[in-house]
């Protein structure tokens, strides 16, 4: 090993640096080259010294391995440097090409400039020759041009005079048009008031006839005369009195403004109520809507849908109702605020559920299809079997049945989704509105198979009715009238098809913001609104018939809203929640008792059957023995 080291050292002896003759190197460059060579030789010398100073073969081997690794690293660095040199060479070539292209552009621009200079010189020469040779002809052409200018000036003056005359005529016509428009507006307003007064007089007339007919002191001849007068008044129907504006048979959402009644005995009340509604709308609609629109416009000014936030001001505005111009925007915000977390987790949820509905048969699809044509049958958008709104409603209900398989589909959901479609004008937003109502606003188990939460709410309503309206509650109990037979449907569909459309939408404005206690407020307000009329009825069957349709006879929506949110106070949410929990527990206990009784009955019945079968078998055995 020592001999090998001496041989390696001999090979690393200092050697003179020989510069070939074919390279001519300046003196400074030669000095730098020699310095680099000297540094390299010194490094080799230092390495050899370290190798000789090593104490053992193992240490020398480690030094040699370290030097080899260092040499490999240097080779890699050299390779990278060569690669960088190649990149720089390519970049230089690109720059040279760009410089050559710029030189070509400069040459072309120079040639173009020289050409333009030549053209300018030629044009100057031509102009000079024309001025020197054609002085007389130019004077003639100048005279002709001046004459044409004078003619044009005359024409312009004539046109100016004509324009002034036409402007004067136009001003007079505009003034006449404005005057006639103001007169037309005044006449329309006067006509509306006259129509309203006519409706009021007709309503009073029919009311008086009805009171006369109910008077038992009338003689038969007088009663027959009154009946004939009522029949004559009803023969004309509603067309000549309340349908003066044929374009207003339905509101903006397609609901009938004046409801139709199918019960023959209610025709007189229906006509009186329709006249009152028509009169109220004509007299109060403009005066009520304009301040409301102004307040909403001021509140929403400069705000996007995402900027809306809960506040007492917004709560008060929603209780007063949202104008049609802003209802879609406000409802969209309310629905998104209720479903924000679910939508953030599943932003494409509705599209995915629709695809699932197309790919797989839904268990509730048959019932949904049956209920489609029973949905808002008096609404223009759902009355036709081929209406696109029905197909939109079908997709929304199928998507919800996949979204909430515990419910699937329950009768009543179609009306909730239909109203959401009419206002929000979007399938996806209507789907999320249905999710918000069923899963976030109303209590759990409201639409499940047993409807436990719905039944509990009816018991809570009876409690509130006895507390807020004790006289009416006692009157209903005296005549054995169960309000749940009427109110259950109110709560299940949140008054859809139970209230006129303007009142229904106003209720929903507050319902989507404040929650289900709004339903209780309006239910109690309806009974308060008609309390005196109900107290006058002394027959249970008549009371029940009256309760079936009286919600559609409400004419003063502002008064109903005031009763709901002022007269029904205080109405704490904690009290509502506690009552719900109490009645729900009682219902669950009753249901459990009923199930236990059924199981006990089945067990006893099964035991009796087994005993009888054994007795029959024993009798049969005895008879066989005797044989």
Q: Which domains does the chain have, with CATH numbers?
A: 2-119 (no CATH), 139-280 (no CATH), 339-441 (1.10.8.270)
pLDDT of residue 309: 83
Per-residue confidence band for 354, with pLDDT thresholds at 50, 70 and 90: very high
pLDDT of residue 321: 92
> Can you read off the two tokens belonging to residue 233?
């008044």
What is the C-alpha to C-alpha distance for residues 28 and 625, in angstroms, rounded to an integer?
A: 142
**Average pLDDT in the 227-240 region?**
63
What is the C-alpha to C-alpha distance for residues 482 and 477, in angstroms, rounded to an integer?
A: 8
Q: What is the 3-state secondary structure (H, E, C) of 498-554?
A: CCCHHHHHHHHHHHHHHCCHHHHHHHHHHHHHCHHHHHHCCCHHHHHHHHHHHHHHC
Q: In the chain, pLDDT over 70 holds for what percent of residues?
A: 79
Per-residue confidence band for 14, with pLDDT thresholds at 50, 70 and 90: very low
**Rounded mean pLDDT of the chain?**
80
**Average pLDDT in the 64-81 region?**
82
pLDDT of residue 158: 77
Highest mean pLDDT among 5-14, 17-26, 505-514: 505-514
**Average pLDDT in the 534-553 region?**
90
More confident residue, 140 or 563: 563
Q: How many CB atoms lie within 10 A of CB 31?
A: 11
Sign for the CA dihedral angle at 588, 591, 595, 597 comes to: positive
pLDDT of residue 100: 82
Q: In the chain, pLDDT over 90 holds for what percent of residues?
A: 36
pLDDT of residue 268: 58
pLDDT digits (tens, 9 = 90+) for 573-624: 899 999 999 999 999 999 888 888 888 888 777 776 666 665 555 444 433 3
Instruction: Give residue for tokens 């050409």.
Output: 115
Per-residue confidence band for 267, with pLDDT thresholds at 50, 70 and 90: low
pLDDT of residue 246: 38
pLDDT digits (tens, 9 = 90+) for 442-499: 998 899 888 899 999 999 999 999 999 999 999 999 999 999 999 999 999 999 999 9
**Average pLDDT in the 506-535 region?**
95
> Can you read off the two tokens belonging to residue 331?
């409802």
Q: Is the confidence at residue 181, as pLDDT, over 70?
A: no
pLDDT of residue 71: 81
pLDDT digits (tens, 9 = 90+) for 240-264: 443 434 345 566 777 766 555 444 4
What is the C-alpha to C-alpha distance for residues 427 and 353, in angstroms, rounded to an integer?
A: 12
Per-residue confidence band for 389, with pLDDT thresholds at 50, 70 and 90: very high
What is the C-alpha to C-alpha distance for residues 524 and 464, in angstroms, rounded to an integer?
A: 8
Find, among 551, 554, 545, the residue nearest to 266 by Cα. 545
Find, among 522, 533, 524, 516, the residue nearest to 465 by Cα. 524
What is the C-alpha to C-alpha distance for residues 207 and 87, in angstroms, rounded to an integer?
A: 102
DSSP annotation of 406 reads: T
pLDDT of residue 533: 92
What is the C-alpha to C-alpha distance for residues 363 and 506, in angstroms, rounded to an integer?
A: 35
More confident residue, 4 or 223: 223
What is the C-alpha to C-alpha distance for residues 245 and 464, in angstroms, rounded to an integer?
A: 42
Per-residue confidence band for 226, with pLDDT thresholds at 50, 70 and 90: confident
**Three-class DSSP category at 340:** helix
DSSP bridge pairs for 250: 256
Q: Is the confidence at residue 20, as pLDDT, over 60?
A: no
pLDDT of residue 595: 84
pLDDT of residue 135: 52
pLDDT of residue 16: 45
Find, among 314, 307, 303, 240, the residue nearest to 274 by Cα. 240
What is the C-alpha to C-alpha distance for residues 367 and 363, in angstroms, rounded to an integer?
A: 9
DSSP sequence for 458-490: HHHHHHHHHHH-HHHHHHHHHTT--THHHHHHH
């Amino acid at each position: 090993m020592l001999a090998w080291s001496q041989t390696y050292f001999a090979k690393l002896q200092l050697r003179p640096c020989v510069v070939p003759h074919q390279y001519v190197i300046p003196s400074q460059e030669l000095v730098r080259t020699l310095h680099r060579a000297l540094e390299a030789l010194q490094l080799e010398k230092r390495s050899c010294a370290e190798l000789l100073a090593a104490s053992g073969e193992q240490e020398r081997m480690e030094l040699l391995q370290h030097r080899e690794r260092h040499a490999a690293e240097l080779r890699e660095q050299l390779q990278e440097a060569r690669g960088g040199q190649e990149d720089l060479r390519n970049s230089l070539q690109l720059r040279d090409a760009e410089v050559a292209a710029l030189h070509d552009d400069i040459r072309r621009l120079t040639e173009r400039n020289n050409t333009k200079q030549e053209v300018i010189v030629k044009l100057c020469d031509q102009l000079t020759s024309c001025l020197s040779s054609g002085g007389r002809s130019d004077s003639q052409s100048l005279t002709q041009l001046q004459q044409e200018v004078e003619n044009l000036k005359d024409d312009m003056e004539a046109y100016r005079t004509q324009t002034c005359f036409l402007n004067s005529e136009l001003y007079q016509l505009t003034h006449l048009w404005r005057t006639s428009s103001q007169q037309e507006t005044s006449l329309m307003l006067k006509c509306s008031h006259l129509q309203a007064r006519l409706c009021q007089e007709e309503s009073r007339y029919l009311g008086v006839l009805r009171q006369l007919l109910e008077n038992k002191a009338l003689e038969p001849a007088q009663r027959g005369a009154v009946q004939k007068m009522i029949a004559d008044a009803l023969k004309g129907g509603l067309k000549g009195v309340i349908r003066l504006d044929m374009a207003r048979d339905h509101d903006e959402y397609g609901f009938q403004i004046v409801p139709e009644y199918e019960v023959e005995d209610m025709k007189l009340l229906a006509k009186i109520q329709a006249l009152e509604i028509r009169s109220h709308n004509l007299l109060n609609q403009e005066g009520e809507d304009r301040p409301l629109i102004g307040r909403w416009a001021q509140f929403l000014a400069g705000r996007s849908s995402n900027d809306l936030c809960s506040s007492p001001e917004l709560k008060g505005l929603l209780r007063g109702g949202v104008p049609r111009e802003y209802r879609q925007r406000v409802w969209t915000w309310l629905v998104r605020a209720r479903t924000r977390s679910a939508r953030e987790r599943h932003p494409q949820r509705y599209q995915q559920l629709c695809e699932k509905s197309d790919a797989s048969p839904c268990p509730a699809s048959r019932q949904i299809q049956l209920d489609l044509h029973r949905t808002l049958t008096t609404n223009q958008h759902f009355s036709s079997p081929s209406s696109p709104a029905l197909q939109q409603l079908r997709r929304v209900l199928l998507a919800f049945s996949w979204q909430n398989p515990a419910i699937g589909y329950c009768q009543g959901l179609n009306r909730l989704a239909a109203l959401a479609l009419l206002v929000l004008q979007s399938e996806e937003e209507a789907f999320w509105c249905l999710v918000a109502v069923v899963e976030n606003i109303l209590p759990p188990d409201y639409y499940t198979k047993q409807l436990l939460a719905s039944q509990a709410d009816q018991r809570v309503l009876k409690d509130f009715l006895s507390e807020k309206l004790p006289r009416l509650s006692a009157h209903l109990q005296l005549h054995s009238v169960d309000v749940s037979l009427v109110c259950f449907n109110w709560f299940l569909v949140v008054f859809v098809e139970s209230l006129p459309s303007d009142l229904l939408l106003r209720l929903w404005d507050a319902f989507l913001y404040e929650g289900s206690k709004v339903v209780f407020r309006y239910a109690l307000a309806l009974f308060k609104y008609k309390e005196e009329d109900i107290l006058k009825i002394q027959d249970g069957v008549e009371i029940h018939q009256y309760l079936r349709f009286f919600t559609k006879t409400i004419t003063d929506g502002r008064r109903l809203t005031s009763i709901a949110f002022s007269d029904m106070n205080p109405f704490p949410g904690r009290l509502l929640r506690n009552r719900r929990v109490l009645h729900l527990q009682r219902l669950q206990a009753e249901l459990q008792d009923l199930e236990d009784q059924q199981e006990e009955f089945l067990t006893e019945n099964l035991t009796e059957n087994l005993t009888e079968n054994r007795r029959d078998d024993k009798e049969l055995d005895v008879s066989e023995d005797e044989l």
